[in-house]
Amino acid sequence: MRQFEIVLFTLFIALLFAANAFLKSRSEESKAKIFKSLLWTFLVSTVGLIYMGAMTVSTRSGMAFPDWPTSDGVLWPSWNYFTAQQDRFYEHGHRLMGQFVGYLAILVLIFSRYFHKERNFKLALIVFIMVVIQGCLGGLTVAKNTLWLTTVLHGVFAQLCLAAMCYLLLKNTKLYIEQIPEEGFAPKLKGLAKFTLGAVVIQLLLGAIFRNKAKVFEYSETGKVIYKEIVEGNAGWLFSHMTFALPVAILLFALGVVLMKFKNLSKSYKLFGMSFHMMVTAQILLGVVAFFTVYNRQDGKFGFAETVLTSAHVVNGALILAFTFTAFKLLSVEIKKDVQNG
């Protein structure tokens, strides 16, 4: 390990201790603001990480560095080195963002001990464990040159991590704490959200399987990874994904309508419901772009705009899953009624 890396590690650890000491001395109001700001930073950074991961897959850059957790033998290569080639930039950029999100996961876990611990700590611990597992899955796909199934698991599990983070954020909002109907939500609404959630997971799995199965790689004489597109023989996964998109879209639109019916309790319900409609519309449009991009790749073409939009299709899918899971947890809230003895 280089001296620079030792100093940086020491600094990171010192910051954790400093953050822990700082939060202890804050008022409850201050703790609430800090914790929510940290959760938003955590969430936005994870969305960025998923996008960077999607770009890594879209540009076939996943094997730019054959080692892990180092990149060509060092933890943090120089800027000029890893930006010199596109595949290095996306792969190492993805790793750097992963390290940042991991650090945020530690901070969230520490801070959750001081702000409504009974509400936040257990879920923050689960999220932290999920982030660690996700990082290990990413390393496994590189270090062991694992089968496409591991890559699929790595991609889908990232979206599950995002969903858990959204739920943690939801639990610290007025919508979840104060703006629930007095009688609670009807069981059939929870059933709709649960069924929709299952359908979304299946849809994402179909897309991820095709996305990662429709490629193989081999090494050139210099050791450089060369990807080959193999859409032929895997088109069944693609068309299953496309066909299943219609019923999933209908379910998501229905869920959005259901949420908007509670707008009298809070405007947040209206915005929440509308977000489903906007995301589904965007996902369909991005899916069309992704479809044409797939067949262009067979000829070895990697248009930058198409690649960016295809990656946006992946990220938007992750957001749809996160929002659907959040809606399911919201509609599953149980109202505790006081029992009076008379």
Name the DSSP letter for residue 335: P
Q: Can you give the pLDDT at residue 226? A: 46
pLDDT at 262 over 50: yes
The structure tokens listed for 179 are 């703006």
Q: Can you give the pLDDT at residue 296? A: 67
Domain boundaries, the chain: 1-172, 183-335
Q: Can you give the pLDDT at residue 12? A: 79
Residue type, 287: G
Q: How confident is the model at residue 341 (pLDDT cuts 50, 70, 90)?
A: very low
Any residues with CB less than 8 A from the CB of 302 and at least 6 apart, and which? 58, 59, 60
pLDDT at 225 over 50: no
The structure tokens listed for 65 are 């560095």
Query: Can you tell me the distance from the alpha carbon of 161 to that of 105, in angstroms, rounded to the nearest whole number?
Result: 11
Q: Which region among 6-20, 97-111, 267-281 has the lowest average model confidence (pLDDT)?
A: 6-20
H/E element holding 218? Answer: strand 215-219
Query: Can you tell me the distance from the alpha carbon of 303 to that of 239, in angstroms, rounded to the nearest whole number?
Result: 23
Pairing state between β 225-229 and 215-219 = antiparallel
The whole-chain average pLDDT of the chain stands at 83
Q: Can you give the pLDDT at residue 292? A: 79
The structure tokens listed for 263 are 């707008």
**What are residue 290's phi and psi, to 5 degrees?**
-60, -35
Q: Can you give the pLDDT at residue 228? A: 53
State in Å, rounded, how far the first CA of the chain is from the last one: 71
Name the DSSP letter for residue 66: S
Q: How confident is the model at residue 328 (pLDDT cuts 50, 70, 90)?
A: very high
**What are residue 221's phi and psi, to 5 degrees?**
-65, -25
Q: Can you give the pLDDT at residue 38? A: 92
Report pLDDT digits (tens) over 134-161: 998 888 877 666 567 788 888 899 999 9
Q: Are 236 and 214 in contact (CB under 8 A)?
A: no
The mean pLDDT value for 267-285 works out to 95
pLDDT at 298 over 60: no
Looking at the DSSP bridge assignments, the partners of residue 177 are none
Query: Can you tell me the distance from the alpha carbon of 195 to that of 258, in angstroms, rounded to the nearest whole number?
Result: 14
Query: Can you tell me the distance from the alpha carbon of 254 to that of 259, in angstroms, rounded to the nearest whole number?
Result: 9
Q: Can you give the pLDDT at residue 44? A: 96
Which three-class secondary structure string do you get for 218-242? EECCCCCEEEEECCCCCHHHHHHHH
